[in-house]
Structure 1
């Protein structure tokens, strides 16, 4: 089968399409015939060597939408089931950007019925990151939350999920994104920030760090969505990183919210798997509103 991999670290040009064996599911695993999967900044980080692995073949891709192809018993899935899943961590040698991928059965959820596979393939990583970040913040309805990067993938999901929970959301993004951020459910918008201590919590999807920490009230909460990027907290502010984890039950809840119209899945452009290097180059340009998606 074909898979997008890197064997040396660098820019988009190091991404190659390799012929590799079809993986076999083990106990409580399923093999998914991949229909689509989003390209995310974490894939660019893997490609650049941020996670290490020099001298190894590194597979790319964390998001998958597709169809169950084979099951390692016991697993509560059947061949032909349309599903989505998170392929967590840096994969050696295979990730989700391949024709087939094997995942633990507990990472899988039935695919949304209301969207196609290209859109469904944008949900797992960013949706779970936003949901798990909100769990860490643990805000009650009526609390004030500022989301940085509110026009992006994680930030956009966070705005929608928080607003659905009755949280008052301030969306922080570029001025040109105000209409988009408000359409996602933000009660307020800012391109410049807010006064010191003006909100109960910040979900820092844009990785602003210290400046965003200033906006949290004394005793509030701050969650950063990039591993290891967390400013030193002060004034009793609780600070945490969200370490995204595969969770089929949480993913199923996100799917339910997609089908209920609560969550919006945004696709900027789809590329054939053979165009993976081109898609990486587009990601490096920045500015896409919606995910780039690879289609085997």
Structure 2
């Protein structure tokens, strides 16, 4: 079967690879769509040559798990696991969820890594109703979902983006004006969409996806007792904290790394249910054939595209 793999010189290329052999508790999935995460292409050089790329997929179960767990044969599923950019892939049944009727597989494929990161980082930070939540890189895949999920939790959301045009796109996607915006249907609290962090008042929680100077600035905005979840480093720049900037009076502030995407089936099903109910929207910036890998790579790493890139691997339902 065909797959996109790490080639010589850490470049992605097509190759013929062996058919996957599902192990215990795994199902065989015909991949229809696979989405591109920033790290998939940016850090390709860290993977051994021949590694099948990708983590996010949506498709149809060709063979259910022999132990009887997970979705049945023929079910439409979203899945999270290594080796997703292939015509067929074996996924743990604990990493799959059935795609509800009314949710197309393109949007389902865009959800796993970004959705799990947004949901679980917010859960770890624990914002309650009325708390102030800052989301940096809010026009990105993780950020946009975090804005919506924090709003559903009753938080007041400050959605920070880098450029005015990104603010406009985010506002349009959420069905709201740019400032003091009412988010999309299903979100319970106002959200301010701002460019940069100047003038932002202190916050209880920060979901930080940009890294570098943005991480330092977000840390400075935390109230005593506040929590910052560092979930990305899109800018690629170092974060330089001024002397004594980690000291503050009162309850301790905390900065946590985030990377827990283990056993995602239940959370993935929850996110898909929200999409089906119209309470969570997934922004697709580009839906392209996987044959167009070089164009996809340029779009992903060029910094001008917002929204998820989804690769069409085969025929669609």
Instruction: Flag whether TM exceeds 0.5 (same fold).
Output: yes
1:274 equivalent among 281, 288, 291: 291
The answer to whether 1:167 aligns with 2:155 is: yes
SS of aligned partner of 2:311: strand
Query: Equivalent residues in 2 for 1:53-64 (5 A)?
Result: 53-54=47-48, 56-64=49-57
Give the whole-Å Cα distance in 1 for the aligned partners of 2:227 and 2:198: 16
1:204 matched residue in structure 2: 208
Maintained 8 Å contact 1:25/1:71: no
The answer as to 2:153 corresponding to 1:155 is: no
Structure 2 regions of 5+ residues with no counterpart? 175-182, 184-189
Q: How many residues align?
A: 283
Question: For structure 1, which segment, 162-171 or 270-279, has the greater mean C-alpha deviation from structure 2 after superposition?
Answer: 270-279
TM-score by length of 2: 0.83
TM-score if structure 1 supplies the norm length? 0.89
Moved over 6 A (4+): 229-232
**Cα deviation 1:206-232 (Å, max 9, x = unaligned):** 2221122111112211001138x8887
Alignment equivalent of 1:72, drawn from 65, 70, 73 = 65
What residue is the counterpart of 1:34 in the other structure?
31
Q: Give the superposed CA RMSD.
A: 2.1
Change (3 A) 1:230 1:135: farther
What 5-or-longer segments of structure 1 have no aligned partner?
none
Q: Is the 8 A contact 2:42 2:301 kept in 1?
A: no
The aligned residue for residue 165 of structure 2 is 176
Contact 1:32 1:68 in 2 (8 A): yes
Structure 1 range deviating more: 107-116 or 181-190: 181-190
Do the aligned partners of residues 178 and 226 (structure 1) sit closer, same or farther apart at CA in structure 2, a change above 3 Å counting?
A: closer
- CA distance in structure 2 between the aligned counterparts of 1:28 and 1:191, rounded to whole angstroms: 46
Shift of the 22–211 alpha-carbon distance from structure 1 to 2, 3 Å rule, reads same
1:108 pairs with 2:102: no
Where 2:102 maps in the other structure, the secondary structure is: coil
